[in-house]
């Protein structure tokens, strides 16, 4: 039996009607020139021959008696494509705003746990002449990185689909009707294995905790007790409330090349730039409601625990907390602070990564977790407790080339993700074929105007790009180019060269980020007043 790991199963146990735990994606698809067929039927035929390439499409859950332990995956020999694949025709005029509202509604409903945990909706009637494909899968079966692997089963790299070998036809026993004794025995055996793994992980866990609480001082090389800088409390905002099951959604794109330019010009990571764009957009959005927290917003950023080359269709993820520095008005200063906080978060995650469990004992856990999840949302505690984070922001790398679905070119790859109690907004980003596609998923009651936030994302990207790249180009044309710190060090006499450790340290400081771009003009009282209104 294929047992769900503790991390996978937690997405089932924590699911409530208000907090569906599925992730999805929205694709705009360009039909081939002169196409006059029935794309919905062509797509269904295309999918029927490929679903066996990823187990998530052809397996379902077998629940343990009385929910005593985590369920197991079993093969579904009676897959009903008409239940999983739906054809939708949008009313006129078929605008992007209408499509966003439709995706929000489709993303609000729970998946049927008696069947494989996925759905697809082929949406026609867009005024652009394109077709949209919205899909969703339960997070218990997939995480962001595994989603890229699933995409290989759904999409092709050519408008002429490559032949796919049909699955071997075998008749399996009805695994959904496994006997109670068989399930109970399997649960007990799995629990023993989980306890063994837990005991074996104790030394690594203890070492990780020691590295976090007793880090080695860079100056003296000695260990001393200190709390990690990455751990901080978040301010309360309208985003940190109990949520309903209704969703709002916005899809926006920015050029990936421009984001990479900004990353290279400032010596920061691409993820730092994404966080800075989101920070500026959130700062403007909250200001519309008169919310200007004195403390910086905190982002919960998923971090993959997956080893390179691992494509297992399960969850291998943790979370780090990053300051969005929304209390800083200057975008470049804000980027520098985000880079510094992100570096601290990565350092902390690196110290504990090996000790973070993805599986843990589950006897008695399902009922307890489900009860606590329901109680937490209905009690209103998210509206009262200090938030740990204000928003979830995730950046998933995707293919750098065009994909094709049923012979039609995929034009975009917008992620649709999970808001939760206390985190009513999720901002997930997927890179695809030269674009960075933002999918903003929110509770409709908490963030009814998420499209405004989407517009602010695009505006903040343009603003940051202008400050970094265009100003840098003007400065380069007007004055001699200053050599980067690393280049200066490499040209120094051998006896005066800095050690590799020193060079690395200079690259990750906030001052290095500030020095990488031209200084902003000195602010006059009038310009300060204008900045305060932004």
Point out the residues that are catalytic. Answer: 139
Residue 453: count other Cβ atoms within 10 Å of its Cβ.
24
The answer to whether residues 394 and 144 touch, using CB atoms and an 8 Å cutoff, is: yes
- The DSSP result for 466-529, as a single string, is IIIIIHHHHHHHHSPPPPPHHHHHHHS-GGGPPPHHHHHHHHTSHHHHHHTSPPPPPPPHHHHH
Phi then psi dihedrals of residue 485, to 5 deg: -55, -45
CA 482 to chain centre: 37
List own/partner pairs for 518-522 with CB under 8 A and 24 or more apart: 518/471, 518/472, 518/474, 518/475, 520/330, 520/332, 520/467
The answer to whether residues 419 and 247 touch, using CB atoms and an 8 Å cutoff, is: yes
- The DSSP result for 33-77, as a single string, is TT--S-HHHHHHHHHHTTGGGSGGGTEEEEPPGGG-S--EEEE-S
The answer to whether residues 271 and 342 touch, using CB atoms and an 8 Å cutoff, is: yes
Residue 171: count other Cβ atoms within 10 Å of its Cβ.
6
Phi then psi dihedrals of residue 293, to 5 deg: -60, 140
CA 352 to chain centre: 20
- Could you give the CA distance from residue 438 to residue 357 in angstroms, rounded to a whole number? 30
Burial degree of 296 (CB within 10 A; 0-12, 13-18, 19+): buried
For 342, the token pair is 């992100």
The answer to whether residues 463 and 334 touch, using CB atoms and an 8 Å cutoff, is: no
- The DSSP result for 165-213, as a single string, is PPPP--PPP-GGG--HHHHHHHHHHHHHHHHHHHHHTHHHHHHHHHHHH
């Amino acid at each position: 039996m294929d047992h769900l790991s503790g991390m996978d199963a937690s997405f089932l146990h924590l699911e409530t009607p208000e907090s569906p735990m599925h992730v999805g994606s929205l694709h705009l698809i360009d039909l081939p020139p002169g196409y006059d067929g029935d794309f919905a039927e062509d797509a269904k035929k295309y999918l029927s021959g490929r679903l066996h390439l990823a187990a998530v499409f052809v397996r379902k859950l077998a629940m343990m008696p009385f929910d005593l332990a985590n369920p197991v995956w079993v093969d579904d020999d009676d897959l009903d494509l008409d239940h999983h694949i739906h054809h939708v025709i949008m009313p006129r005029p078929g605008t992007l705003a209408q499509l966003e509202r439709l995706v929000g509604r489709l993303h609000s409903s729970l998946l049927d746990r008696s069947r494989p945990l996925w759905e697809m909706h082929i949406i026609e009637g867009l005024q652009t002449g394109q077709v949209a494909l919205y899909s969703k899968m339960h997070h218990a079966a997939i995480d962001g990185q595994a989603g890229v692997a699933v995409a290989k089963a759904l999409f092709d790299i050519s408008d002429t689909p490559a032949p796919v070998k049909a699955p071997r036809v075998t008749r399996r026993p009805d695994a959904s009707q496994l006997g109670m004794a068989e399930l109970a025995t399997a649960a007990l055996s799995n629990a023993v294995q989980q306890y063994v793994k837990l005991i074996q992980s104790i030394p690594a866990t203890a070492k990780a905790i020691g590295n976090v609480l007793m880090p080695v001082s860079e100056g003296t090389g000695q260990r001393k007790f200190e709390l990690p800088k990455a751990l901080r409390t978040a301010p309360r905002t309208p985003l940190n409330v109990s949520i309903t099951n209704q969703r709002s959604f916005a899809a926006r794109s920015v050029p990936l090349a421009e984001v990479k330019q900004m990353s290279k010009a400032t010596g920061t990571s691409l993820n730092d730039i994404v966080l800075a764009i989101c920070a500026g957009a959130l700062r403007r959005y909250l200001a519309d409601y008169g919310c200007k927290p004195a403390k910086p917003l905190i982002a919960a950023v998923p971090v993959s625990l997956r080893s390179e080359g691992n494509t297992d269709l399960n969850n291998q993820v943790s979370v780090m907390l990053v300051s969005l520095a929304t209390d800083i008005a200057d975008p470049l200063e804000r980027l520098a602070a985000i880079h510094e906080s992100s570096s601290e978060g990565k350092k902390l995650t690196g110290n504990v990564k090996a000790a973070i469990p993805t599986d843990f004992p589950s006897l008695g856990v399902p009922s307890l977790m489900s009860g606590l999840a329901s109680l937490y949302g209905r009690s209103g505690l998210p509206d009262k407790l200090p938030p740990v984070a204000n928003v979830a922001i995730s950046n998933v790398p995707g293919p750098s080339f065009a994909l094709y679905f049923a012979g039609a070119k995929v034009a975009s790859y917008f992620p649709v993700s999970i808001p939760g109690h206390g985190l009513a907004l999720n901002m997930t980003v997927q890179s695809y074929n030269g674009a960075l596609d933002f999918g903003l998923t929110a509770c409709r009651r908490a963030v009814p105007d998420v499209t405004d936030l989407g517009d602010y994302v695009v505006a903040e990207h343009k603003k940051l790009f202008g400050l970094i790249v265009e100003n840098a180009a003007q400065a380069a044309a007007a004055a001699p180019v200053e050599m980067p710190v690393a280049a200066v060090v490499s040209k120094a006499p051998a006896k005066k060269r800095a050690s590799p450790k020193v060079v690395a340290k200079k690259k990750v400081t906030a001052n290095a980020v500030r020095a990488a771009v031209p200084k902003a003009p000195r602010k006059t009282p009038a310009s300060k007043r204008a900045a305060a209104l932004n």
